[in-house]
Structure 1
Amino acid sequence: MNSKLVILGGGAAGVLIAMKLASQNIDVTLIDSKTFYEYTPALCSVLYEETDAKFHQHFSEISFELEPFLRKINVEFILGNAKLIKDDKVFIHQREEGIEYDYLVICTGSSYADPWKTQNGTECIDLNRRINFLNEQREKYKQAQHILCIGGGPVGVEVATEISYRAPGKKITLVDMNKTVLANAPDGIGNNAQRILNARDSITSIMEQSASQKGQEGNTYIYETDKSHTEIKADLVYNCIGVTPNSEFLQANHADWLNEKKQIIVDPGLRVTSNVFAVGDVNSVNEPKMFYTAHMQAIHFVRNMSRIIKNNTNVENLIPYHPSRPNMIVSMGPQYAIGYVSGIKLTGWPLGLNKGSHLASWGKYTIERITMNSCHLKIPVNEVLYLTSRP
């Protein structure tokens, strides 16, 4: 009789784990509160497409329904939102009986401010509801004339530059507490990103300051910076800081699994207990929380799980995970990006220093297609990245 693996979460790590283990001698069940998979990093491009038709077309290219996809690879899908874990069972809000497991991997990811990630409540979300929500967000964007982006990480930079190119008549203000945007990016590419933002007439960067809301006049939000006390009046505000692990369901009876950041504490083998693992944004591994790193952890988990299945490897002797070498590509508009890939800087040098790199932009699009498994490349490409990104 095969052992049973339950994957809790159908995002970056969860789906890749399901795809990798579907053909092995283990019964796999995936639980998610969404009926669909979504490549969230592409939303900064999708939401600001020039026409509604292009928006819907692009969104259809970065999402798919989970149940039929998983059925084809003999993985059971259960729609539900986790309530608690107890006695080797996962309990969800949508049913009374628990879902038994021999092994559990928690891949519930993280929550982010609207509209970039679906929120982790107790309700389930289908694809139509998600599209309707994004349509509402898109209408707010189309009506806005002055947009405030709080935070200069990858999301804030992509939002500002995508809007700047798509709608040059809109005014954009970006506020960040660091000297440059992308302050934690590898090899100083944040300096290149800052140069590009400064070259865009519609973008104003206010650096080394924070901004807080002081009031509201009708549909206009009034913010003020903490040092220069600059007043910013915007009719649309994007909060582009703060990632919260989706670990609320563990508070009831497994609060001891969590650290002060509410991340699930894992050992070097990504293990929480003898038969529970945590992979991706939700765990305590000290590396950037990205789709890329979630994929690398997923590949590593599968390698350990395969050893357990095939060789009866003692779970005490798992291969330790080492954080991946940094790789990053950030869009600087529909046709430009900057990046750091396998030690190579892509900044648009020498002619595109004020715009970015076409090659990096092509690379970002390629990553999107690979992530969506175009030409069945998702597994082999991530395997190669795993092997080449080890320290």
Structure 2
Amino acid sequence: MGNGASKIPHTENTSIVIVGAGYGGTALGRKLLHSGNMKIINPYDFLFHNIGALRGAVQPDFVPSLMIPLSRTFGDSFIKGRLTQVNKERNSITLEDGQEITYTYLVLATGVSSAFPAKLSNDYPQATAEDTVKYYTDINSNIRESGTIVCVGGGPVGVELVGELKTDYPDKKINLDSPK
């Protein structure tokens, strides 16, 4: 294991819990998967490639390719759940369903939040893979039915979304409005 993972003292009683299965949590989980007692916890049962999320808003048939099932990657080491409490004195965490999990090492890899459609994040906390496809299909329906689209925010996400929209809908009137 590279990148510092080999520096963690490991015994057969060592348990590592990773909360968050985005890019960072998943990468660490894959490095540690066969090294002993490791659990990875995520509220969704899939890794969502949010880098392609805006393309999914324009082409909803692309959305299934953005989801990698975590149970296929991590098997029994994956737990679908949402963290509600960390008890540092007991070296344990509690999930929303009441399940308590003890750890030797805890990694919080919860990532960042952004609004839909750039990410699922807090907008859809209980989304399944099927729900996710529906959310992107619904937004695409709104896009297709719109004559004019106003995108508020001229940062990287806004510019990317306008680029995706213009690529598939070159005849639509699209305004990019950046507040001052």
Structure 1 length normalisation: TM-score?
Answer: 0.41
Q: Give the aligned residue type for 1:88.
A: N
Match of 1:112 in 2: 114
Shift of 1:2: 3.5
SS at match of 1:169: coil
Structure 1 residues without counterparts, runs of 5 or longer: 50-54, 177-208, 211-391
Name the Cα RMSD after superposition: 1.9
Tell me the alpha carbon deviations over residues 246-280 of structure 1, each in whole angstroms, 9 at most, x when there is no partner: xxxxxxxxxxxxxxxxxxxxxxxxxxxxxxxxxxx
1:39 equivalent to 2:41? Answer no
CA gap of 1:144–1:122, structure 2 versus 1, over 3 A, is closer
Match of 2:82 in 1: 81
Q: Would you say the 8 A contact 2:53–2:119 is kept in 1?
A: no
1:5 equivalent to 2:6? Answer no
Tell me the alpha carbon deviations over residues 214-265 of structure 1, each in whole angstroms, 9 at most, x when there is no partner: xxxxxxxxxxxxxxxxxxxxxxxxxxxxxxxxxxxxxxxxxxxxxxxxxxxx
CA gap of 1:161–1:122, structure 2 versus 1, over 3 A, is closer
1:68 equivalent to 2:72? Answer yes
CA gap of 1:133–1:151, structure 2 versus 1, over 3 A, is same
After TM superposition, the structure 1 = structure 2 runs for residues 288-327 of structure 1, keeping only pairs within 5 Å, are none
Match of 1:145 in 2: 147
CA gap of 1:14–1:4, structure 2 versus 1, over 3 A, is same
CA gap of 1:122–1:171, structure 2 versus 1, over 3 A, is closer
SS at match of 1:172: strand
CA gap of 1:154–1:105, structure 2 versus 1, over 3 A, is same
SS at match of 2:122: coil
Q: Give the aligned residue type for 2:126.
A: C
Shift of 1:122: 9.4
Match of 1:90 in 2: 93
Q: Aligned partners of 1:173, 1:136: CA distance in 2, in Å?
A: 21
Partner of residue 25 from structure 2, selected from 6, 11, 14: 14
Structure 2 residues without counterparts, runs of 5 or longer: 1-11
Q: Would you say the 8 A contact 2:41–2:81 is kept in 1?
A: yes
After TM superposition, the structure 1 = structure 2 runs for residues 1-391 of structure 1, keeping only pairs within 5 Å, are 1-24=12-35, 26-49=36-59, 55-56=60-61, 58-71=62-75, 76-86=77-87, 87-94=90-97, 96-120=98-122, 124-176=126-178, 209-210=179-180
Q: Count how many residue pairs are aligned between Structure 1 and Structure 2.
A: 167
SS at match of 1:148: strand
Q: Aligned partners of 2:117, 2:96: CA distance in 1, in Å?
A: 24
More helix by share: 2
Match of 1:285 in 2: none
Match of 2:3 in 1: none
Q: Would you say the 8 A contact 1:93–1:122 is kept in 2?
A: no
Q: Would you say the 8 A contact 2:64–2:133 is kept in 1?
A: no
Q: Aligned partners of 1:39, 1:77: CA distance in 2, in Å?
A: 18
Q: Would you say the 8 A contact 1:11–1:108 is kept in 2?
A: yes
Structure 2 length normalisation: TM-score?
Answer: 0.84
Higher RCO (C-alpha under 8 Å, 6+ residues apart) = 2
Shift of 1:136: 1.1
Tell me the alpha carbon deviations over residues 170-201 of structure 1, each in whole angstroms, 9 at most, x when there is no partner: 1111122xxxxxxxxxxxxxxxxxxxxxxxxx
CA gap of 1:48–1:122, structure 2 versus 1, over 3 A, is closer
Q: Aligned partners of 2:27, 2:99: CA distance in 1, in Å?
A: 27
Shift of 1:123: 5.0
Q: Give the aligned residue type for 1:90.
A: I
Q: Percent identity?
A: 25
CA gap of 1:43–1:121, structure 2 versus 1, over 3 A, is closer
Q: Would you say the 8 A contact 1:81–1:124 is kept in 2?
A: no
Q: Give the aligned residue type for 2:31.
A: K
